[in-house]
Each structure stands twice: as structure tokens, then as C-alpha cells.
Amino acid sequence: MARFEKIAFVASETEEAEDALKTLSKRYGCAAPEGADVIVALGGDGLMLQTMHQHLHSRIPIYGMNRGSVGFLLNNYQENGLKERLEQAEVTVIHPLRMTVRDVNGTFHEALAINEVSLFRQIHQAAKLKIAIDGTLRLNELICDGVLVSTPAGSTAYNLSAHGPILPITAPLLALTPISPFRPRRWRGALLPNEAKVVIDVLEPKKRPVSAVADHTEFRNVASVEVKEGSDIDIFMMFDPGHTLAERILAEQFGY
């Protein structure tokens, strides 16, 4: 008996994705996501991230097909043989980051990030940050536009644009990458073990306000941010053989 009889389809709001949703639902049926064997996301990388966030705790595998403008996290779109593709697909397990924020009023907030946790200056003045790793102070003062902590899955996204390293998807690492650093001018960031606890304190938070963002969730006027891997949360992404996320990340390092 096939493992993927009940397929849930979700789509972005583009005409291309909506047409695919109608075609595939008519052909394969469309189960409710909470009772499905697999969720098939039709859109771009943004929809894929949104779908993973919506089903973080369901442990239902997610298979994306590209009906958007960017498809790094997605498989090629094809209407035929979907169940056979699902049976043959390879699964990549990733873990999100858990962000805990204390704002300037002393209120705590939490959010999860699949790609990265980022801190940004809110005004024209540069941010001043202090960084500790596992309780040891590593940078007394980083003057910058911001800093981010990236997962391997997110290392080819904003982290790469900020000149951070590309991490193999199975590497037990996190990337700590500065955004436009002014002092120390030559600091390019650090590679951290995935079980590291990163604490970033904002210096002069009222004079130099900073926001913290976990993927798409933002908190403003923060005083301190703690970032740790959510190793207790498993996200199952499915890819066609030969086109896994591990292969795509490796290929990205060679420029193709």
C-alpha cells in the first residue's frame, strides 16, 4: 500500500499556483492538512517557509513544487506521477532556531526561525551589540547595521547575501554573521556548534534602537536576544532524488 494516499495541497495566491492547485486537487484529491500523509506546497520559497511554520509541530512531511519566482527549497513542477515521486523522494530533517527576546520594557517574546534570526538597527545610527557564546563574552562591542544567526537551511539566503558562509545541510553548525560591520572592521563572523547558546545584548538600546526578526516575526526596541537551536522540533522536507537540499547547497558553493 502506498504511503501517500492522503495528499494536502496548499498554494500561494498567484494565478500560476492557483491553477496548479485546481488541477492537482482534481486529479489526486485534496485532504485536510491535519489528516494528510504529506503536504504539497505550490508556490515559491516564501510559501514553503510559510507552510513549514504553520506545521512546525505536526511532523507531516512537506514536498514543494515550484510555482513561484524562487525555488531553492522546491522540486520542479510536474502534474504526472506525483504519488510515485513522493514514494521515491528523499527526506531532509531540519531544526528551527528558537529566539527569546527581552525588550526595553522587560517584556519577553518568543519566535521560531527556519532560516535565520536577525538583529537590525532601527534608525540612522549604527547598532552597538555585545555577543556572548555559552556564557563566555566573545565581543565586547560590535558596531554594525546588525548581525544574524543562520541555520544550514538558511545559510544560502540572507546569510549568503551578508557574505556569510554556506553550510552543508547536515553540518552540526550555525553561522554567526555581521551585517555591514564597522568595528571590528575585519570581523567576518564565526561558525558555531549547533548546540551553542548565543546571547546578544544591545548597548544603548534607547539611543540606538534595534529590532529582532525570526524569519518573518519582528519585535522592535529589544534589549537582549537569546538564540538556540530548537533540536526538539523536526521538520521533514522532501526532495526528488539527485535534487536534495544537501546537493543544492553543495552546488551553490561552486557557483551553479
CATH of the domain at 104: 2.60.200.30
Using the structure block, give the residue that is written with the C-alpha cell 540606538: 208
Cell numbers that stand for 121 in this block? 538597527
Give the separation between CA 200 and CA 97, rounded to whole angstroms: 15
Question: In this predicted structure, what is the pLDDT of residue 1?
Answer: 42
- Both ends of the chain: CA-CA distance in Å? 39
Strands of the sheet with 90-94, listed across from one edge: 7-11, 38-43, 62-66, 235-239, 90-94
Whether residues 122 and 190 share a domain: the answer is: yes
Q: Is residue 161 part of a domain?
A: yes
Whether residues 161 and 69 share a domain: the answer is: no
Task: Dihedral sign for Cα 3, 87, 170, 44, please.
Answer: negative
Question: In this predicted structure, what is the pLDDT of residue 70?
Answer: 66
Q: What does the pLDDT profile of the chain (256 residues) look like in tens digits?
A: 468 999 999 999 999 999 999 999 999 999 999 999 999 999 998 999 999 999 999 999 999 999 987 667 889 999 999 999 999 999 999 999 999 999 999 999 999 999 999 999 999 999 999 999 999 999 999 999 999 999 999 998 999 999 999 998 889 999 999 999 999 988 999 999 999 999 999 999 999 999 999 999 999 999 999 999 999 999 999 999 987 778 877 787 786 5
- Which of 250, 247, 245 is CA-nearest to residue 235? 245
Number of domains in the chain: 2
The model carries a pTM of: 0.90
Q: Is residue 1 part of a domain?
A: no
Give the separation between CA 74 and CA 255, rounded to whole angstroms: 19
Q: Is residue 2 part of a domain?
A: no
What are the residue numbers of the active site?
45
Contacts of 81 (CB under 8 A, 6+ apart): none
Structural domain including 66 reads 7-94+234-252
Give the separation between CA 21 and CA 2, rounded to whole angstroms: 22
Whether residues 113 and 223 share a domain: the answer is: yes
User: Residue 67 belongs to a domain with what CATH number?
Assistant: 3.40.50.10330
**Bridge partner residues of 200 (DSSP):** 131, 225
Question: In this predicted structure, what is the pLDDT of residue 96?
Answer: 97
Strands of the sheet with 116-121, listed across from one edge: 190-193, 173-179, 146-150, 116-121, 210-214, 217-219
Whether residues 107 and 204 share a domain: the answer is: yes
The residue type at 255? G
- Which of 31, 202, 37 is CA-nearest to residue 130? 202
Whether residues 224 and 155 share a domain: the answer is: yes
Give the separation between CA 71 and CA 66, rounded to whole angstroms: 6
The three-state secondary structure class of 62 is strand
Q: Do the Cβ atoms of 150 and 168 come closer than 8 Å?
A: no
